[in-house]
Structure 1
Amino acid sequence: MHRRSTISSSVALGGLLLAACGSGAQSPAQPAATAPATAEAPTQPLPPAPAIPEGPALGADERAAAPGRIFFLAEREGGAAIDVILPSGQGAKTMLQGTGGEGPPSVLPGPISPSGELMAIITVDEHEGGHFERIEVRPLGAAGELGEPLWRSETAPQVRSPAWSPDGRKLAFEAAFSSFRDIYAVDLADRAAPKLNRLTDHPAGNYEPAWSPDGRRIAFVSSRDGNAEIYVMHADGREPQRVTHFQLDDWGPVWSRDGGLLAFLSNRESAERIFLVKPDGTDLRRLTADAPGDRKEFEPAEAEPTFTPDGGGLVFSTRTGSQQAALRRADLATGAIVPLTAGTSSNREPVFSPDGKLLVFASDRDGDPELYLMRPDGSGVVRLTDRKGVDWLPRWSPR
């Protein structure tokens, strides 16, 4: 399977993603073990940092008007925790404390349901040489408080990539319960008796489920035909159809807002790039226009594709140095690429506010990784978190 350098959000993305995969040995997505990092530096000289939009910093009124609250992974001396903060910067507090010690974070924030009523959480436990993961679904209170789990999965070496259906009733995820990796969905319509359904059953491995906007289909990654490819199936697991066809790896599917496109990552050009394709496999194209070997303005190692709320663009990160990454926005109609951050530090994990008027992202521009806010055009950057330790993996709740 393909390489992966760090978490996205992909998550896709609607899931928790991470690190390296050997050929046919692991999923293209794994729970995070360390804070955001970038891959090795490109061998070719990098172009000068592009100019980024100027504008006044976000004012108190603009931040206070932003809806919802932001959950994130906070790594401190006492261990990892899930913290929450308002866009205004007020109300910062810990909502779920993990265990301390060495190794990967013991709790990681997963996606929040569209209504903001539920949150998926991945827990990680390492003892006696074993590695055990589990997904929990917890209710979110009006003040952002996390309740006791409504549902908990079994433990397995890998239980990850949770993704909510558009109606917030079902949570799909990948797990190694009884196979190398398959996709499951828990139906929470009856919260007193959630029902778990297995959607795939193939020994080669199935990963990274992503719901279509209408909830009728699920895009996912499978290595059933050799290398990792993108597939689409009905939401109940029927009739999986292969979307991409190439001898190298494709992964990380993300649906456009209207369901007419899938963005995904691929190393088919010996560099990790974002591609677009229709769900039926037609009209495949690269997001950025230049080829990696001839790059003049854009660098390889693109990641974290996130469609803009209006559906007309896509925000993504791209590597600009050994430990640097920049955020860019692509116009899907014209192909124009607009720089949102200069890329002189690591800028990753872009997440839109529920009303689409702001972006939160993780950056180490002032030292250790913290969360920052900016307008969708890259202007008005302001620091959101300000505590010793690493803050990352933002999840913006609508309430």
Structure 2
Amino acid sequence: MNQMKRKLLFGERMLYGDGKSPFNMVIPFKIKGQIAEDRLNLALLNIQKKHAWLTASIEFNEFKTPWFITNSPESFKVSVRIIERVSEEDWKRESEREWNISFDATKSPLFRVAWIKGEEFSEFLLVFHHCLCDGTAGLSILKELLLLLDNPEVKIGEEIAIQSIKDIVPEQVLNSYRKRTKNRIIGKIATLALWIIPVKKVAVDRKRDFLLHWKLDEQLTSSILVFCKSQGFTVNTFLSAIVLKAFKEVQADKSFNKISLPVDIRNLNPLIKKDHVFAFGLMIVLSAGKQNDFIDGVKQLQKDVDRKLAKLDPYALMMMMEACHPSLDNFSNLLKYGKTSNDCMFSNLGKLDFPDNYENFELETICSPSVIGPLGNTTTILTSTFRKQMDFSFVASEGYVAFKDAELIKERVISLLKENIGTYN
């Protein structure tokens, strides 16, 4: 494998930060069966051979600009930490632990594994630095890992790695004088605004970070899918409305009636493939309207979603952000030290299209990823569906949401789902 290098894009630099503060994503899964340690190591090696950036270190040039630089997989291996499995809850504790363990990108990849090893069952945690990998890429790597754990000879192909912005923005867009000029001007205006905005450098005391996790049964999950289809809105919009209402009911005047929703850039940019190791976040923000009828409110929210998605231009956003590198520190400080303005980030990864039975083990479950970092409000709810069950991970810090309030929000989300499905069925 020839060595490759590329500058971190603006979003990647923001997520990487100073390289000392962890910004980690954890993807847990549970299997029934026995896995040999050497087979896991071989599987991870083959995954690194496919995805060059999983061998990357980060180095700074003379201008203090960070670069991804690939290494040989044999000399820059994915580390595996093995923990004896004592209970069903061990993976939650270990997930919380992994959030707070920094990656040293000079010595090891920005990817590692924690193996909670038992006689009959094991949980594995795939841990990525978020600057390297988003949820879609992480789940693609998980799919490849399971295939290789089952059969080391299986072919998983080779990723054509993204080596510059030229690989992910069409040439005609990059070379358009009008588009370049417009995005450069917008970038300079944003840079100026970030220089002007005063930010008091006193970070919120996060206190204890915690994870709440729950699943819906098959019947309720199925009812939600049928219900949303019959009403003409997406499951994502329905869940967003439920989350907004739950925060409002539990936190009352402390709530913001605002959630941010990541949008997978791959849905708008065909140049970025599902298995590309990449992390670039598009985002839309939603607020609930004042309709008396909740379902009427969801339908209005769907119109807002459709309108905002139609306006998203991934190429323009990427070009504009690349013009903002001079304001990176100011932008990061605004996120880190600015006042909280939304209730949470909510992300629905949808149905996970994985087999559950393999030749040598059974995939019992995939838990929704969790992610936490240093840039402002840590409150995040992620959901996904596997084996016909909707799964939720609720990450927060007590400095932003009290644990007892988070538990009440969780219970209210479940109740509101049941109440609305029941009312309209």
Q: Is the pair's TM-score, using the shorter chain for normalization, greater than 0.5?
A: no
Q: Could you tell me the TM-score, scaled by structure 2's length?
A: 0.25
Q: Could you tell me the TM-score, scaled by structure 1's length?
A: 0.26
Higher relative contact order (CA 8 A, sep 6+): 2
Give the structure with higher Rg (CA). Answer: 2
Select the structure that is richer in strand.
1
